[in-house]
Amino acid sequence: MKKLGLIVNPIAGMGGRVGLKGTDSPEILAKARELGAEPVAPARAVEALRVLKHHMAKFELLTYPAEMGADEAEAAGLEVRVIGKITSGKTTAEDTKRAAKEMLLEKVDLILFAGGDGTAADTIKAVDALVPILGIPTGVKMHSAVFANTPQAAGEIAARFLREGLPLQQAEVMDIDEEAYRENRLVAKLLGYANVPYEPVMMQATKEGSSGFELADQKAIARGVVELMEKRRIYVLGPGTTTRAVAEELGIYDSTLLGVDLVKDYKLLARDVNERQILKAIRGKPTTIVVSPIGKQGFILGRGNQQLSPEVVRCVGKENVWVLATPHKLSLTPTLKVDTGDSELDREFRGYIRVITGYRQTRMVKVV
């Protein structure tokens, strides 16, 4: 029988309605409660579980006590095996991590969690990519690409994954600096990658050539990009799995997933470089930046790749920025964004740009 682990972060999302942009620290949580914030995660988790139950007759459900899952499962009318211990009403990030780790040991097929970016980050800190995860969206910040669009969709995808075994795809887990976020600055760090069930938003009929799964699309993009590469030109590969596929197509297997690498003459020139190192390497030399949109919001510059500063981008030139994205990714983020911190540069990118979406295939996509 399939095993599903359920983790509800009961405080996730509480900062949202009261304008606090998150509940990452205990002080902020206290403030949120003071402002009259109500828990939102439990109710949304129940919605997801109801849909899951509707689609799936038999599976084993494992969860943590009380508000971290047991209560929600009961409300949805699901039988559940409760593991672990918590202090009800005083749960912390540590509880999420411990729950995830115990579920890993229990060999669950999927961890379904209700929370936001913080919960996603805590979960992968505990289990890395060893267990597939799927987020019920309940947080304030949801920049990571591990969330279903709605709680109902989370339930449906989880059911399909357990029942039919959907393929897995890698998805970014982002961490946003809440302090900065409250001051209206968005500092996003790419924390790592999780395995999530792959559910193409559109089920394609056989009539049009369905592009298949995301990994195949990434490979096709990589093949096309390598064909376009010229000798003696420097290629700045931004973070992400799509750009890593390019490196792999070149036979480079030790590129960084979360950092920026430099490639020249089909070889790795430098690994995990910072802004200054990039500038030093590219000044006066023909250079191309290769990036892929990061996270769910579709940022191509300024999120998770701050090494590619306005100065770096200007030095390379807008016309030498290649953007890669699979059709699946573009379907999640139909428009792209830039936020380099230099509004004039951002403006230059606005309008339609060409995004490489497959082997010898590009698509006109609006940057807003």
Partner 1 sequence: MTYRQARWAREGCLEPLVFELSKAGRMGASLPRAPARVKIPEKLTRTSLELPELSEPQVVRHYTRLSQMNYGVDSGFYPLGSCTMKYNPKVCDELVNLDGAAHIHPYQAEETVQGALELMYRLERHLAEIAGVSRVCLHPSAGAHGELLGMLLVRAYHKSTGSKRTEVIVPDSAHGTNFASAAMAGFNVVVVPSNNRGRVDLGALREAVSNRTAALMLTNPNTLGLFEDEILEIAEAIHKVGGLLYYDGANLNGILGKARPGDMGFDIVHFNLHKTFSTPHGGGGPGAGPIGVVRKLEKFLPVPVIEYDRRRKRYYLDYNRPNSIGKIKSFYGNFGVLVKAYAYILLMGAEGLEEVSEAAVLNANYIMRKLLKVEGYELKFDTSGPCKHEVVFSAEPLKKKYGVRAHFVAKRLLDFGMHAPTYYFPPIVPEALMIEPTETETKEELDQFIEALKQIAEEARSDPEKLQAAPTATAIARLDEVKASREPILSWRMYRKLAKK
Binding site for partner 1 (CB under 8 A): 51, 54-55, 152, 156, 201-210, 351-352, 354, 357-358, 360-366
Say which amino acid occupies 217. D
Helix ranges restricted to H, 106-229: 117-127, 151-164, 178-182, 214-228
CB of 230 to partner 1, least distance (A): 16
CB of 106 to partner 1, least distance (A): 29
Question: Judged by CB, which is closer to partner 1: 47, or 95?
Answer: 47
Neighbours of 167 (CB within 10 A): 14
Helices and strands counted in the chain (H then E): 14, 16
CB of 212 to partner 1, least distance (A): 11
Question: Judged by CB, which is closer to partner 1: 52, or 196?
Answer: 52
Strand-pair partners of 299: 294, 337
CB of 71 to partner 1, least distance (A): 24
Question: Judged by CB, which is closer to partner 1: 81, or 366?
Answer: 366
DSSP, res 69: B
CB of 260 to partner 1, least distance (A): 27
Question: Judged by CB, which is closer to partner 1: 27, or 208?
Answer: 208
Question: Judged by CB, which is closer to partner 1: 181, or 322?
Answer: 322
Token pair 């030399």 is found at 285
Question: Do the strands 168-176 and 188-197 form a parallel or antiparallel pair, or are they unpaired?
Answer: antiparallel
CB of 51 to partner 1, least distance (A): 7
Question: DSSP per residue over 74-110, as a string?
Answer: HHTT---EE-S---TT---HHHHHHHHHHHHHTT-SE
CB of 150 to partner 1, least distance (A): 8
Length, in residues, of the chain = 368
In whole angstroms, what is the distance from residue 232 CA to residue 108 CA? 49
Beta strands in the chain (DSSP E): 3-8, 60-63, 81-82, 110-115, 133-137, 168-176, 188-197, 234-237, 261-264, 267-270, 287-291, 299-301, 321-324, 337-338, 351-358, 361-367
> Quick check: 232 and 283 in contact, CB under 8 A?
no
